[in-house]
Amino acid sequence: MDIRDLLEEIAATYKQHLGTGGGVYAQDLLRQVPSLVAQAVPGGFEARGYGGKGGAAHTPWIGVFDPGITKDPKEGLYLAYIFAADLKSVTLTLQQGVTKLAGSYGDGQKLRDYLSFRAEKLLGGLPAELVADWSVSPAFNCKVDRPRAYEAGSVVARRYELSALPTEAELREDLWYLVEILQLAADVEKGVSVEQAPEGFVANYVPTKHTGHKGLEGFKPKDGSDYIAHIAERTIAKSRSHEVLIEQFGPYVEARGFVPITKKQHPKDLVLRQDGVEWLVEAKTIKKHSAASAVREAVGQLFEYSHFLYEQTSKPHLLALFTEDIKAFVPYLEGLGIASVWSTPEGWAGSPSAASWGLVD
């Protein structure tokens, strides 16, 4: 089931007064969420629906969890689609677990103050350019303590009106984008310590400063310096050459009539557009002149992103970008429908399909 269809179906059928028992259609639908949207969430993530225990929730919601961070909405950070009490809107939010904190701070204003203060510190530790369009403060139109705690516990969010939901492709791109923010926030969370003081809450975390890249409009590669990307339970060191490769390729293809875009494209490395046609680009660094692992990773990611992020739209052309010649792997990729381009001392070279598109001579 698509995310869009699920959100619309819950909004249209959820009735709080019917309770949470079996046979209540919306509640049954929420219980089936793990299997209904398994194909729409990133690999390794888990989705679950919540309509309340005992009494039905005023604001039903669907959680999306990275098991490497938390599988329990009572604590830690997770993503959630939370419906407003009037069921006219649903908000995708990066949430802090509330239930266990309520044991220390109660369910009222003190808890909300703590969550709001902590959310502010977590937000301050995230790259400003990544969260620039996610600054919505949720409003669930409910005076009950738990929905108000959800409002206070939101770090970043995006609100959708149920009467004008985005396309399925746009919803999935938003979800996958927020997955990146979730994983970065989980790393920030490790350095945040909030304590109560006579003057209120205080934190001992100093946010890291992030600077944007001045480049082409819509083309903003990540900083070329070495950095650490935290993904699920792994920590991957991405080298400077990966980002420099994208940064150098962008102006090159722009001069050839393509529009290179990295801004708001995560998890995609790069997108190229020309005359209504789109190319999905995955960039890989070849280490020790051995292309096998880089090619393998490029194939996996290109097919994964093409399947999950373009399921409801026209499939893009696929392009793998490398730091050096991949030699015997060129016909292999061509056979899979993937073009390839690589850097050379003289500039850029590529496969037959890349040449046919005008990416290389």
pLDDT in tens, 195-246: 776 666 776 665 544 434 334 445 555 444 343 333 333 333 344 567 788 8
Indicate whether 232 and 197 sit together in one domain: no
Residue 177 has pLDDT above 90, yes or no: no
pLDDT score for 206: 54
pLDDT score for 205: 60
Q: Is residue 213 situated within a structural domain?
A: no
Indicate whether 196 and 258 sit together in one domain: no
**pLDDT, mean of residues 317-328:** 94
Indicate whether 92 and 188 sit together in one domain: yes
Please give the model's pTM, rounded to 2 decimal places: 0.67
Report the distance separating Cα 23 and Cα 170, nearest Å: 32
312 confidence band (pLDDT: 50, 70, 90): low
**pLDDT, mean of residues 107-130:** 87
Indicate whether 278 and 197 sit together in one domain: no
Summarised one tens digit per residue, pLDDT across range 31-68 is 999 999 888 888 788 999 999 988 999 999 999 999 98
CB count, 10 Å around CB of 94?
27
| CATH code at position 343 | 3.40.1350.10
Residue range(s) defining the domain that contains residue 298: 227-356
pLDDT score for 270: 92
Q: Is residue 216 situated within a structural domain?
A: no
**Count: domains in the chain:** 2
Query: To the nearest whole percent, how much of the chain has pLDDT over 90?
Result: 55
Give the residues across from 196 on adjacent strands. Answer: 201
Taken in order 350, 354, 360, 361, the sign of the CA dihedral is positive
Tell me 290's DSSP state: B
Q: Is residue 209 situated within a structural domain?
A: no
Indicate whether 187 and 234 sit together in one domain: no
Indicate whether 250 and 140 sit together in one domain: no
Q: Is residue 346 situated within a structural domain?
A: yes
pLDDT score for 234: 33
- The letter for the amino acid at 26 is A
**pLDDT, mean of residues 298-317:** 88
Indicate whether 249 and 138 sit together in one domain: no
Indicate whether 182 and 324 sit together in one domain: no
Indicate whether 199 and 293 sit together in one domain: no
Residue 28 has pLDDT above 50, yes or no: yes
Indicate whether 176 and 236 sit together in one domain: no
Q: Is residue 106 situated within a structural domain?
A: yes
Q: Is residue 210 situated within a structural domain?
A: no
Q: Is residue 49 situated within a structural domain?
A: yes
Report the distance separating Cα 43 and Cα 13, nearest Å: 29
Environment class of 1 (CB within 10 Å of its CB; exposed 0-12, middle 13-18, buried 19+): middle
Q: Is residue 126 situated within a structural domain?
A: yes
